Amino acid sequence: MGAVGATGRAVLSARDVPEAMGGRIEGPRADRVARSPRWRDGTFRNDPPIAEGPSGAMRDLLQRVAAGLPDRKPLGPLPLRTPPLTPSLGGDARDAGGSDGRGAGGIRVTWFGHASALVEVDGARLLVDPVWSERVSPSQELGPKRLHPAPIALDRLPPLDAVVVSHDHYDHLDMLTVRTLAATRPETAFVVPLGVGAHLERWGVPAGRIIELDWDEEHEVADGVRLVAAPAQHFSGRGFGRDRTLWASWVIAGPRHRAYYTGDSGYFAGYAAIGADHGPFDVTLVQIGAYDRAWPGIHMTPEEGVAAHLDVGGGLLVPVHWGTFVLAMHPWAEPIDRLLAEAAVSGAAVAVPRPGELVDVSAPLAPDGWWSALAP
């Protein structure tokens, strides 16, 4: 019976694969994409082109994969926290807001694992790159699997002003999560880079709730709180084609506070320009994991993540894109250890929440090494 059940699940999952790969860019959306300064010869382009790995790097990578790397997973269960996501999240006795408890001010981050986070800025609530599925893959039977459960169910999240997506890779844009949010939160907008709306429409998000932005374009998601699409150095694609949708980092600018999310990116000179145009920032969410010398142009090392944080004028650094999925060859805890070593040299302030833990940016707790006991 178990074997039959597994076969049935695999068949159902295989049927979902074409839909999970997303939608086609056509009609007015294709016309708009073609007008982007970043669109050339049928694809979006990085400018300058992303750096290639050194000679022999891919051969070395294959040898490392063949040798096996047992230290890429934690030694035991991660210490999850159940976030206080009641209707009053984001407000307290001093800044309580409207009927749903929104705070009139303040800035907070709740990290759910990998790149998924709730960012609260001056009363607005933004859910960034939400991925609640078990695997980051077009199939829920194959592909990288979670190292820890989602700390909270989607239906327990508070009201959201927007879902914000950095790019269309499976570990940042999850079909099952999008479908759930679209069906259960009719008031929530989806703010995405150019072209990504085609995937959302195929998955049931009404066109009127999708806001697609090119770099340097912006959208007001709540009273006085703007989302600005900013440059990043990465790529896109969910199937056989590549770079048909844009990737972005995101500026969250409120009347009193500002946050910045790098999305996935190699380190590049554009961070200084982002800081000059939109900074300084009270907090940055910085990608620090899934790096490798075979792909230096698309994911930052932890040291580069600290440099990006300083370039944009960041106050508190909250590391993301580590700890939840095995997506590269480095040891599981290496990204956070290297980040803290670099931060100690540079003087950057860092908070390292457990999955589900809320960070009050105005009063962050110092890193306590919770991951050390789990490091292989």
Domain regions of the chain by residue span: 80-364
Higher pLDDT, 4 or 225: 225
Mean pLDDT, the chain, rounded, equals: 90
Q: 151: which residues sit within 8 A by CB, 6+ positions away?
A: 80, 81, 82, 83, 112, 113, 355, 356
At 88, is the pLDDT very low, low, confident or very high (cuts 50, 70, 90)? Answer: very low
What pLDDT is attached to residue 13?
56
At 58, is the pLDDT very low, low, confident or very high (cuts 50, 70, 90)? Answer: confident
At 60, is the pLDDT very low, low, confident or very high (cuts 50, 70, 90)? Answer: confident
Q: How far apart are CA 26 and CA 29, in angstroms?
A: 6
Q: What is the mean pLDDT of residues 285-307?
A: 96
This prediction's pTM: 0.92
Q: What is the mean pLDDT of residues 249-266?
A: 98
Fold classified for 80-364: Metallo-beta-lactamase; Chain A (3.60.15)
Query: What confidence tens digit (pLDDT) does each residue in 168-195 have?
Result: 999 999 999 999 999 999 999 999 999 9
Q: 351: which residues sit within 8 A by CB, 6+ positions away?
A: 109, 316, 317, 318, 359, 364, 365, 367
pLDDT tops 50 at residue 70:
yes
100-114, 128-142, 157-171, 284-298: the lowest-pLDDT one: 100-114
What pLDDT is attached to residue 100?
44
What pLDDT is attached to residue 57?
74
Query: What confidence tens digit (pLDDT) does each residue in 11-29 have?
Result: 445 678 999 999 999 999 9
pLDDT tops 80 at residue 54:
no
At 260, is the pLDDT very low, low, confident or very high (cuts 50, 70, 90)? Answer: very high
What pLDDT is attached to residue 85?
64
102-111, 122-131, 268-277: the lowest-pLDDT one: 102-111
Query: What confidence tens digit (pLDDT) does each residue in 109-155 have?
Result: 999 999 999 999 999 999 999 999 999 999 999 999 999 999 999 99
